[in-house]
Amino acid sequence: MTNEINNATKPSSEEDGAFLHSCMYFTTNRLSRAITRLADDAFAVTGLAPAYGYLVRLVIANPGITQKELSEKLYITPSTLTRFIDKLEGKQLVERQVQGKTVLVYPTEKGTAMKETLREASKRLKAAYVAKLGKELADMLTSMQESSSELLEN
């Protein structure tokens, strides 16, 4: 009878949420929230969210890049990219030029002036997660995520 009472009061793995720790969806989102906090901290000095910072870095490195290429490189939908570019145009960091049916994106002088600040923010982010994970795990995890994303997207 005592065992029945003990078993009745112990939560099952469903009740205590143990299944969450073996769920890729849950663990990936948990990791995403953790890395987002580190990224937000690293990019705070730029005045930009990390996603915007990386977009500006791509435009600086590839002046005249098409919106389509940016969307593909950043793995975001065209409509999301349009909103990002609208915001960055408002901050006078990038500008669009239409050539026929193609929209090209260029950095402005103000955007180009942020090049080193954005690179340093990216370096701070990497240093922060390497400090917590170690270089080997950080590199392995990044590589595994890239490979896994490729497989899941196809």
| Cα-only R_g, the chain | 21
* 5 confidence band (pLDDT: 50, 70, 90): low
Tell me: pLDDT of 1 over 80.
no
Can you tell me whether residue 97 is helix, strand or coil? strand
Q: What percent of the chain stands above pLDDT 90?
A: 86
Q: Is 109 exposed, middle or buried (0-12, 13-18, 19+ CB in 10 A)?
A: exposed
Residue in this structure with the two tokens 């340093």, named with its chain if needed: 120
Mean pLDDT in residue range 90-108: 96
103 φ, ψ (degrees, to nearest 5) = -110, 120
pLDDT of amino acid 34: 97
Cβ-Cβ contacts under 8 Å for 77 (sequence gap 6 or more)? 71
pLDDT digits (tens, 9 = 90+) for 8-41: 555 556 777 889 999 999 999 999 999 999 999 9
Q: What is the mean pLDDT of residues 127-154?
A: 96
